[in-house]
Structure 1
Amino acid sequence: MSVDIDISGLPTERIVFGPSPLAELGAALHVLSEPAHHPGLHGWATTTAAGLKPDLLGRMAEAEFLWRSTRSDILLPRGSMPPATLAEELDEVDALDDEAYVAAALEINASGCTLRSGGGRSPLVDEAARDAALERASARGPRQLGFAQHLLKDPATVRTWVRRLLEDCDEAFFADVWQRVRPQLAADARGKTDLLRRKGLADALEAVSPTVTIEETARSRRISIDKLADGWTAAMQPGVEPGVTFVPSTFGWPHLIVRQAPGWRPVVGYPVSAPELRPGPRTSQLMEKRLMAVAHPARIRLCWALARAPYTTSELAQGFGLSASEVSRHLKTLREAEMLTTRRHGRYVQHQLDVTVVARLGSDFLESILR
C-alpha cells in the first residue's frame, strides 16, 4: 500500500524543500495532543503543557481534531515555498474562500481518514453534504460537533477564532521553539535541495526516508510513499501551482504526512531526526512479513535457539523433533523476512537470528501504523 503523487511531465525544479512555521506549529500541537506517539519528546510536551494557561489549553482542546489524528490541510503550506513567518502563512490561509476552508476543516472523520462527502459539494450550500459533515463530527464527540455547527453557521467568526488560537500558541511557546529549530530545518532543506540538483530525485527521496521512492514506467512517473493506506494525487492540477513541496519537521517522527487532497498542492512533511534504532524496515510489507514470521509456534521455538547460537538445519531438526524439510521451510520464512544471518563453514551452513531486527519489531510496528 502507498500514497502516490503523479509527477509525470513535472520539471525537477518544481520539487522544492523548505521549512514551514505553520506546519511545524501543527506538528508541535500534535505532539502536545498525542505525546505517546512521540516518546522522545515526552519531556518537552510535559514541560510545555505545564506552562500554558488553562484558557489556552481549553481552546487547544476544542480545536485539537485539526491536528490530533491527522493534519488538516489548512495547517500545511499552500504555495511552492513556504513563507518565512507564521503570520505570512496565516495570511495565505486567510486568502482561502470559505468553501475551501470549511471543506478542509471538516474533512477528518472518526477513523483519522479524510472524506470529501457529497462528490465534492460544499456543506455551506448543499444540505446533503452538510448533514454528512455534521454526522461525522457527531461521531467524534460534542466538541467537534459544536465546532462544525458553528463553522457552518458563521465561518468568518470561526476562522478568526482559529487564527487567534494559533497566534496565541505562537506567543505562548512556539515562537521560541521556531527560533531554536528553524536553522536545523533550513539546513536540512538546503541539503536536500543540493542533493536533488547534484544526484537527482531518487537520492533526494532516499534522504527524506527509505520509504519514499520514485516509480517510473514508460507512461508515468510518480513519487510513492509507503503507508498502510492507499491514496493518489497529482503534482499538476487545474488551478493549482504545479509541483510538490517537502517540509522538514523536528516534531515529525514517526509520522510522514502527505497532503493528497484534490485542488491542493501535494505536500510531504517528513522528520529530520529519529530515535537511534534505525534504519527500520524499508516497507510496511517487510514489517508485516516479520510479524507473520514470528507468529508461528514452531518458528518461535526455532528463534529461541537461533538467538543463542548459530545452528545448521539438521541440528535444529534433531533438537526440535522436526523434519529437515519442515525446518528449511521455517528458515526460509525467517530469511525472507530478513531476520536471519547465514554463514558457511566448510560443507556446513549455519543460521542465526538477527537479534537487532527482533528488538525493533515493536517500534517498527508502531512506526508503520503511525507513518
Structure 2
Amino acid sequence: MKARLTFSVNDLAETRFAVSPMWEVVTGCRVLNAAAVADPHRGWADQVRPRLAAAGLDHGWLADMIPPVGHLPDFLNPAPATASPDLSDELAAIEATDPEQVRRDLDRLATERDGRLSSRLRSLHRTPRAYLPRIVTEIETYWQLAMAPYWARIRSVLEADVFHRGRQVAEQGTAQALNELHHTVRWAGGGLHLVQRHCAITRIETGAGLLLVPSVFAWPRVLTRSAGSEPPQLAYPARGIGTLWERRPHERVEALAAVIGRSRALILVELDSPTSTTELAQRSGLSAAGVSQHLTALRAAGLTSTHRAGRSVLYARTGLADALLTAQA
C-alpha cells in the first residue's frame, strides 16, 4: 500500500518530535502478543512474559485489543501534548477519549476479525466510558511489570534519536531528516510518501503538522496514527535498537568502586537487567541482607529504582547509574 501525506509550509512548521510512553506500551504489547519474538527483543520478552502471565495480563484488555499484526486502536495513542509527556498525562487523555473514537477503533478491529469481537470488547463498544478506567488501570499495571524497570534505558535511546534528528534538521534540513527515518518513508514533491502495507494516512482526514515518534518496539515497521483533527503521528524505529539490550561495558567500575565501594559497584554492574534481591545475592556472592542494605543506599543516591512485580520487587539501574558506569570519550 502506498500513501502520500501532502505538506504546506504551515505543516512543515508544525512538524515536531516527541517521546511517548504509550507508543512503547502499545508496540511492546504487539511484540509480546506475537507467536515468536525475534531479536533484538527476545531477552526482554522472556523476562516480561512470566510477570504478565502471573498478573493475568496475558489475557487482559491490551492482549485483546492489540493484535500481532493489523490495526492498532488509535485511542491508545493520543497525540503527545509535549516533547516528553508523562505516562499519567497520556492515560488521562485515554480515559477522556470520545466514545465514538473508541467505537470506530473497535469497528475496525471487528472488520479485521471477520466481524467478531470478544464479549469484553463488545461491552467496551456499548459503554466506553464505563470501561476506559479499567483499561487505564491495566496499563498502569503493565507499565510497572514490563516497562518501568527498563524505562531509563529505553528513554535514553529514544532521546538520543530525537537529538540526532534535531541536529540533522538543523544541519541538513527537514527533507533529509524525513528521508532517513526509514526505508519506507520518502520526501518528494512537497509530500511524504509512505510505502508500507500498514500505513493509510492522508492530509484530508488529519490535522495540521506531523508528529514524529521514535520507538524501540515499532521495529522493523513504521506505524501511523490519524484521528480526527489531531496531527498525524508516525512512529518509526529509533536508532540504536540493536544495542538496546546488550550487556554494556563498564570501564569505570574500578574508579566508581573507589568512591562507593566494591560491593555497591558490583551490584550496579549486575543490574544490567532488572533483578530481585535474591537473584542479586546469588549472582554477586553477597548475603541477601547485605544486598538489601546496599540497594537501600544506592536508591537513596538516585542510582537504582524499585518496581513491584506481584509479590516480588525488582531493582533497576537509573540513567544516572548508567552514566557513572559507562566511560565517556
Which band: TM-score by shorter chain?
0.5 to 0.7
> 5 Å matches for 1:184-223?
184-216=157-189, 221-223=190-192
Corresponding residue for 1:66? 66
Corresponding residue for 1:232? 201
Counterpart Cα distance in 1 of 2:103 and 2:125: 7
Q: What displacement does 1:160 show?
A: 1.2
Corresponding residue for 2:100? 99
AA paired with 2:233?
Answer: V
SS at match of 2:187: strand
- Give the counterpart of 1:269 among 218, 235, 240: 235
SS at match of 1:36: coil
Q: What displacement does 1:105 show?
A: 4.0
SS at match of 2:108: coil
Task: Assess if the C-alpha contact under 8 Å between 1:33 and 1:68 holds in 2.
Answer: yes
Matched, 1:157 2:130: yes
Per-residue deviation, residues 6-52 of structure 1 (Å, max 9, x unmatched): 22333433111121001011111111111535332122212211233
Counterpart Cα distance in 1 of 2:77 and 2:200: 18
Alpha carbons of structure 1 residues 33 and 82: separation in structure 2 relative to 1, 3 Å: farther
Task: Assess if the C-alpha contact under 8 Å between 2:94 and 2:132 holds in 1.
Answer: no
Task: Assess if the C-alpha contact under 8 Å between 1:233 and 1:262 holds in 2.
Answer: no
Corresponding residue for 2:48? 48
TM-score by length of 1: 0.58
Counterpart Cα distance in 2 of 1:82 and 1:59: 32
Q: What displacement does 1:209 show?
A: 1.3
Task: Assess if the C-alpha contact under 8 Å between 2:18 and 2:84 holds in 1.
Answer: no
Unaligned runs of 5+ in 1: 113-134, 139-143, 277-371
Counterpart Cα distance in 1 of 2:204 and 2:150: 31
Task: Assess if the C-alpha contact under 8 Å between 2:211 and 2:233 holds in 1.
Answer: yes
Alpha carbons of structure 1 residues 235 and 274: separation in structure 2 relative to 1, 3 Å: farther
Counterpart Cα distance in 1 of 2:110 and 2:123: 17
Task: Assess if the C-alpha contact under 8 Å between 1:243 and 1:265 holds in 2.
Answer: yes
SS at match of 2:24: helix
Task: Assess if the C-alpha contact under 8 Å between 1:235 and 1:265 holds in 2.
Answer: no
AA paired with 1:16?
Answer: R
SS at match of 2:132: helix
AA paired with 1:19?
Answer: V
Higher mean C-alpha displacement, 62-71 vs 48-57: 62-71
Task: Assess if the C-alpha contact under 8 Å between 1:27 and 1:67 holds in 2.
Answer: no
Counterpart Cα distance in 2 of 1:22 and 1:54: 22
Alpha carbons of structure 1 residues 86 and 19: separation in structure 2 relative to 1, 3 Å: same
AA paired with 2:168?
Answer: L
Counterpart Cα distance in 2 of 1:214 and 1:203: 8
> 5 Å matches for 1:294-309?
none
Per-residue deviation, residues 79-137 of structure 1 (Å, max 9, x unmatched): 4545431111111222322212332344224548xxxxxxxxxxxxxxxxxxxxxx62x
Unaligned runs of 5+ in 2: 244-329
Task: Assess if the C-alpha contact under 8 Å between 1:249 and 1:271 holds in 2.
Answer: yes
Counterpart Cα distance in 2 of 1:251 and 1:188: 14
SS at match of 1:245: strand
TM-score by length of 2: 0.65
Aligned-residue CA RMSD (Å): 2.7
Higher mean C-alpha displacement, 157-166 vs 28-37: 28-37
Counterpart Cα distance in 2 of 1:206 and 1:179: 28
Higher mean C-alpha displacement, 164-173 vs 30-39: 30-39
Corresponding residue for 1:123? none
Q: What displacement does 1:148 show?
A: 2.9
Alpha carbons of structure 1 residues 54 and 37: separation in structure 2 relative to 1, 3 Å: closer
Corresponding residue for 1:86? 87
Q: What displacement does 1:78 show?
A: 1.5
Matched, 1:247 2:213: yes
Matched, 1:256 2:229: no
Counterpart Cα distance in 1 of 2:121 and 2:61: 14
Q: Percent identity?
A: 22
Task: Assess if the C-alpha contact under 8 Å between 1:252 and 1:271 holds in 2.
Answer: yes
SS at match of 1:231: coil
Matched, 1:77 2:78: yes
